[in-house]
């Protein structure tokens, strides 16, 4: 069977993993692109046995890079979430964990030249328009993945990658509070619908009869909870102006509970049809913003920091993630920027192959 070869880097970005492509090596047509990515990842099988996906939502993610069309940015980052078992691709969201690898990948692909011991890569997230400054370790002008930084959900250590997110408020819906309310009640559950880096529907775990400290496996096994959560998410999507979100991974869903491991607040994040094993970078920013916002569903769950910048430590199933949030509380709550420390590692490079009947290249 004739096959088409496509150059790629295979990378871990944060606590996710997937192929990083040069956008020029893929079809322009969005429908054809989706079919290429489905074939490449092996979407449609729980093990992704006929592709390079890993049988989980965090390992069926794709980054596509190109020289930026924005005067501010160096590189455009186009993200795709490929479904594990359904042969479908969602181009609406972005992914902050995969974004962690964009700076190193851009340097490796020759899209950005290293400059000194630390190279700043200005990234535009095509899906949402968000702008991110990544500081990548390039000692002596050479890209390195070796370092002493640990992040929860990833074994070992690697070189630190500093991410500073700008313009994250209303990235998908155009509003900090897309429904216009700090709280909405849906199906008897109070939620805060918020859009900071990622649109989220956020509720208190206790309102679902949960502790908020359940493992990802325990939550995934609770199908009654998932059914109720999905019904609320669908209605919230309508109220947020996002239309029918039944086949979209956004808005995502988050749960809050009081911290019990020394953090600021305990969190659980959903992708949305299963539980994230750790925490999404974009989701972390939105949950941190909710924690800092008076009048949201976080009221009463934490001792809220009042000085900016505030370091918000989110507890999640595999540990913690810190989000440094700059905000203005002079007239209500206004978020300025959010920053995180992540790592990435190049795992492989070369060419992957898809059947030529899908795309001849």
State pLDDT tens for residues 120-132. Answer: 999 999 998 889 9
**What percentage of the chain carries pLDDT values higher than 70?**
99
Name 29's Cβ contacts closer than 8 Å, sequence gap at least 6. none
pLDDT tens profile 228-279: 999 999 999 999 999 999 999 999 999 999 999 999 999 999 999 999 999 9
- The tokens for 41 are 């990842």
Q: What is the pLDDT of residue 25?
A: 98
Q: What is the pLDDT of residue 130?
A: 87
- Residue 249 CA, chain-centre distance (Å), reads 11
What is the value of pTM for the model shown? 0.79
- The answer to whether the peptide bond before residue 272 is cis (omega within 30 degrees of 0) is yes
pLDDT tens profile 27-64: 999 999 999 999 999 999 999 999 999 999 999 999 99
Q: With 70 as the cut, is the pLDDT of residue 175 above it?
A: yes
Query: Whole-number mean pLDDT of the chain?
Result: 96
Q: With 70 as the cut, is the pLDDT of residue 155 above it?
A: yes
How far, in Å, CA of 29 to CA of 126, rounded? 16
pLDDT tens profile 294-347: 999 999 999 999 888 899 999 999 999 999 998 887 667 788 888 999 999 999
**Residue 265 and residue 302 in contact, taking contact as beta carbons nearer than 8 Å:** yes
How far, in Å, CA of 192 to CA of 182, rounded? 6
- The tokens for 277 are 């094993």
Q: What is the pLDDT of residue 62?
A: 98
- The answer to whether the peptide bond before residue 251 is cis (omega within 30 degrees of 0) is yes
pLDDT tens profile 141-151: 999 999 999 99
- Region 65-86 average pLDDT: 97
């Amino acid at each position: 069977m004739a096959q088409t070869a496509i150059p790629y880097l295979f990378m871990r970005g944060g606590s996710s993993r997937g192929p990083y492509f040069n956008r020029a090596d893929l079809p322009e047509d969005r429908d054809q692109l989706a079919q290429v990515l489905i074939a490449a990842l092996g979407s449609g099988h729980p093990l992704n046995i006929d592709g390079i996906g890993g049988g989980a939502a965090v390992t069926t993610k794709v980054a596509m890079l190109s020289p930026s069309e924005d005067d501010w940015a160096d590189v455009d980052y186009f993200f795709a979430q490929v479904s594990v078992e359904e042969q479908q691709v969602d181009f609406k969201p972005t992914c902050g964990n995969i974004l962690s690898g964009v700076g190193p990948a851009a340097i490796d692909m020759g899209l950005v030249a290293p400059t000194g011991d630390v190279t700043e890569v200005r990234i535009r997230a095509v899906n949402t328009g968000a702008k991110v400054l990544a500081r990548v370790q390039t000692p002596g002008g050479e890209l390195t993945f070796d370092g002493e930084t640990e992040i929860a959900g990833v074994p070992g250590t690697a070189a630190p990658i500093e991410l500073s997110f700008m313009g994250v408020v209303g990235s998908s819906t155009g509003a900090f509070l897309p429904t216009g309310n700090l709280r909405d009640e849906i199906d008897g559950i109070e939620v805060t619908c918020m859009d900071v880096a990622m649109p989220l529907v956020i509720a208190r775990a206790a309102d679902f009869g949960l502790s908020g400290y359940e493992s990802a496996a325990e939550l995934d096994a609770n199908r009654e909870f998932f059914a109720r959560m999905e019904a609320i998410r669908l209605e919230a999507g309508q109220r947020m102006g996002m239309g029918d979100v039944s086949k979209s991974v956004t808005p995502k869903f988050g749960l809050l509970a009081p911290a019990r491991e020394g953090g600021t607040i305990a969190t659980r994040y959903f992708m949305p049809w299963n539980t994230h094993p750790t925490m999404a970078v974009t989701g972390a920013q939105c949950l941190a913003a909710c924690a800092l916002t008076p009048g949201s569903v976080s009221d009463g769950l934490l001792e809220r920091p009042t000085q900016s910048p505030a370091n918000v430590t989110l507890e999640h199933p595999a540990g913690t993630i810190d989000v440094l949030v700059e905000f203005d509380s002079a007239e209500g709550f206004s978020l300025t920027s959010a920053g995180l420390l992540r790592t990435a590692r190049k795992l492989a490079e070369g060419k992957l192959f898809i059947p030529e009947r899908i795309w001849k290249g």
